[in-house]
């Protein structure tokens, strides 16, 4: 994750040190959110393929506590982001915020809520009982 976020921090440092008297470009926050969201999606997609090695039992016990802590943190983040999304939507409907600014922010909040919600759902869901094709053939021939 650090390897994916490090180029972003280098770009931020470049803009901050190079152009100190000018504000950041208007596209920069959107680029930052897209880059961080993309990095998270890449890590989620490929982390299970990378970490398929064998784990010792002591490591598995410590990971149970870590997983419950991460589930709690993800649930907290989802709740906070949902409240922020609803508050922004309310303020926009009331006319206190410009819809041109709240629409991209709301889209990013929904993307993060969806990503973290899906990950939390997959993590909490019990493993399904899958039937292999050979087991299906043997059970159909017996009946």
* Contact in structure between 102 and 87 (CB atoms under 8 Å): no
Q: How far apart are CA 99 and CA 92, in angstroms?
A: 6
Q: What is the structure's pLDDT at 88?
A: 93
Q: What is the structure's pLDDT at 61?
A: 64
Domain segments of the chain as ranges = 66-125
Per-residue pLDDT tens over the stretch 82-108: 999 999 999 999 999 998 888 988 999
Q: What is the structure's pLDDT at 142?
A: 52
Q: What is the structure's pLDDT at 125?
A: 83
Q: What is the structure's pLDDT at 94?
A: 93
Q: What is the structure's pLDDT at 90?
A: 94
Q: What is the structure's pLDDT at 25?
A: 75
Q: What is the structure's pLDDT at 137?
A: 53
8-state DSSP, 127? P
Residues of the chain with pLDDT under 70: 1, 19-20, 48-61, 129-143
Q: What is the structure's pLDDT at 133?
A: 55
Q: What is the structure's pLDDT at 13?
A: 78
Q: What is the structure's pLDDT at 50?
A: 63
The model's pTM: 0.53
Helices (H), 95-143: 99-124, 133-142
Q: How far apart are CA 106 and CA 111, in angstroms?
A: 8
């Amino acid at each position: 994750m650090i390897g994916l976020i490090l180029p972003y921090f280098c770009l931020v440092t470049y803009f901050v040190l190079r152009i100190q008297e000018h504000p950041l470009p208007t596209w920069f926050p959107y680029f930052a959110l897209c880059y961080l969201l993309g990095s998270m999606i890449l890590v989620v997609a490929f982390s299970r393929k990378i970490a398929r090695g064998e784990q010792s039992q002591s490591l598995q016990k410590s990971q149970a506590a870590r997983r419950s802590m991460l589930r709690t943190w993800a649930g907290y983040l989802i709740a906070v982001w949902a409240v922020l999304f609803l508050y922004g939507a309310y303020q926009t409907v009331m006319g206190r915020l410009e819809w041109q600014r709240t629409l991209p922010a709301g889209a990013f909040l929904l993307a993060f809520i969806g990503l973290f919600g899906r990950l939390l759902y997959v993590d909490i869901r019990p493993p399904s009982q899958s039937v292999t094709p050979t087991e299906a053939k043997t059970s159909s021939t017996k009946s």
